[in-house]
Amino acid sequence: MLYTNRQLLSGLICKYLKYQTNIKSISSNTYKSYATDLRQFLNSLNSFNESHKKITNYKDINLSALHFALSRWSKLKPSSRNRKHACIKSFLKWMYTEGHLNDPLDHHVICPKRPNKTPNFLSVDEVISLLRYLKSEIKNINTHKNQYQTQRDYLLILLLYSGALRVSEACHLKWKDFNSRQCQVLVLGKGNQERIVSLPNNVSFELNQLERLGPYIFSNTLKPLNPRTAYKIVRNSGAACGLTQPLNPHALRHSLATHLLSGGMNLRTLQTLLGHKSLTATEKYTHLSLDQLSEVMRKSHPLK
C-alpha cells in the first residue's frame, strides 16, 4: 500500500530497480532517472503520511496519496512530468503484479502529452564550417596537452555528427570498439543494445590519429569522458565558430539524420543507424526545409 511506512516502500523501490536492471536491461542513465523520480515520489508520500495519520480508509487513502505525490510535479514542463509519471505508472503496475497493491492504481496516472518539438539542426554548410574551424585550431596549438585536447574536441564533434551518436554513447566508446580496417565502431546504446555504426573512410582515418592515452577514445584517464564535459565542449566550439544558435550534441545527431533523409535514405535504414527501437521515434526527423518542400511540390503536385 502507498499509505504505509517509509521503510517498506523503500525496500520495494530497491526491488523494482533491480527488476528494471536485471530483467528490462535499462541503461545506467535510465536507472539514475528512475531512482531520482522514485525517491522524490517516496518523499512526497512520506509528507502525505505525516499529515494523514488518522485516516483508516486505505483504498481511498492510496488514491489520495498518489494524487498528492503527483501534484508536487505539476509545475514541471510536460516532457519532465511525462517521464516522471511514466516511471511511477510502471512502478505501480509492478507493485500490483507482484501483489503489493490490492487495487491497480497505474491507470490513475496520466502521462501529459509531450510537445512535438523539433530539435535545432545545422545546415551542411554550417557543419563543414564548424569542422574546418576546429581542425584549423589544432595547427595553432603549441603544447602537447593542449594539442591533445583540441584534437580530441574536434574528433568528438566529428564523430557525434558522422556517426549520429548520442553523447553518452560517444563518451563511453572504447578503442577496442573501433575497427579502423572496417571503418566501424561498436556502440552500446539505450537498453544496453549494441549496434555497429559505419563511418566514412576519412573519419576513421582521422580518428586513428588521436593519441591513445587510456581505454576510452575521448578520455586520457581510466574513466570515460563526462557527458557534461562533452556538452560544454560542443557548446563552446559552436560559439567559437560563430554559429548563431547555441550548439548541443543532440543537434549534431539530428543534423546528420536530417541530411541523410534529404539525401534519400529511407526511414528503416535511418532507424537502424540511430538505434531507435520503434520507427515512431525516427519519424520526427522527417521535417523538410521550405526550399525542399517547394521543390517536392513543384515536381510532384498533380496540377503542376
Per residue in 275-284, pLDDT (tens digit) is: 887 777 677 6
Position 298 in a domain: no
Position 67 in a domain: yes
Say if residue 173 is in the same domain as residue 275. yes
Position 302 in a domain: no
Structural domain range at position 63: 6-108
For 39, list phi and psi in degrees, rounded to 5: -65, -45
Final residue of a domain: which of 42, 74, 108?
Answer: 108
Q: Does the annotation count 253 as an active-site position?
A: yes
Active-site position among 166, 172, 216, 254 = 166
Active-site position among 16, 34, 216, 285 = 285
Indicate whether 79 pLDDT > 70.
yes
Position 146 in a domain: yes
Contact 198, 184 (CB under 8 A): yes
What's the CATH code of the domain at 97? 1.10.150
Active-site position among 89, 100, 135, 250 = 250
Indicate whether 167 pLDDT > 80.
yes
- 241: its cell numbers: 565558430
For the segment 31-53, the average pLDDT, to the nearest whole number, is 85
Active-site position among 190, 195, 235, 259 = 190
For the segment 30-44, the average pLDDT, to the nearest whole number, is 92
Indicate whether 57 pLDDT > 50.
no
* Per-residue confidence (pLDDT) for residue 288, from 0 to 100: 47
- pLDDT level of residue 88 (50, 70, 90 thresholds): very high
For 178, list phi and psi in degrees, rounded to 5: -100, 120
Say if residue 131 is in the same domain as residue 274. yes
Active-site position among 81, 83, 172, 276 = 276
Q: Does the annotation count 228 as an active-site position?
A: no
CB neighbour burial string for 248-263, b if at least 16 within 10 angstroms, e if fewer: bbbbbbbbbbbbbbee
Q: For all residues of the chain together, what is the average pLDDT?
A: 85
Beta strands per DSSP E along 149-261: 178-179, 184-188, 194-198
* Per-residue confidence (pLDDT) for residue 294, from 0 to 100: 57
**Structure confidence by residue, pLDDT tens digits, 195-227:** 999 999 999 999 999 999 999 999 999 999 999
Say if residue 135 is in the same domain as residue 280. yes
Say if residue 54 is in the same domain as residue 155. no
* Dihedral over Cα of 127, 133, 134, 135: its sign: positive
* Per-residue confidence (pLDDT) for residue 301, from 0 to 100: 55
- pLDDT level of residue 15 (50, 70, 90 thresholds): very high
**Structure confidence by residue, pLDDT tens digits, 16-35:** 999 999 888 887 888 999 99
What total number of domains does the chain contain?
A: 2
Say if residue 168 is in the same domain as residue 66. no
Q: Does the annotation count 166 as an active-site position?
A: yes
- What is the pTM for the complete model shown? 0.66
Q: Does the annotation count 285 as an active-site position?
A: yes
d(CA 198, CA 184): 4
The alpha carbons of the chain give a radius of gyration, in whole angstroms, of 24
What's the CATH code of the domain at 241? 1.10.443.10
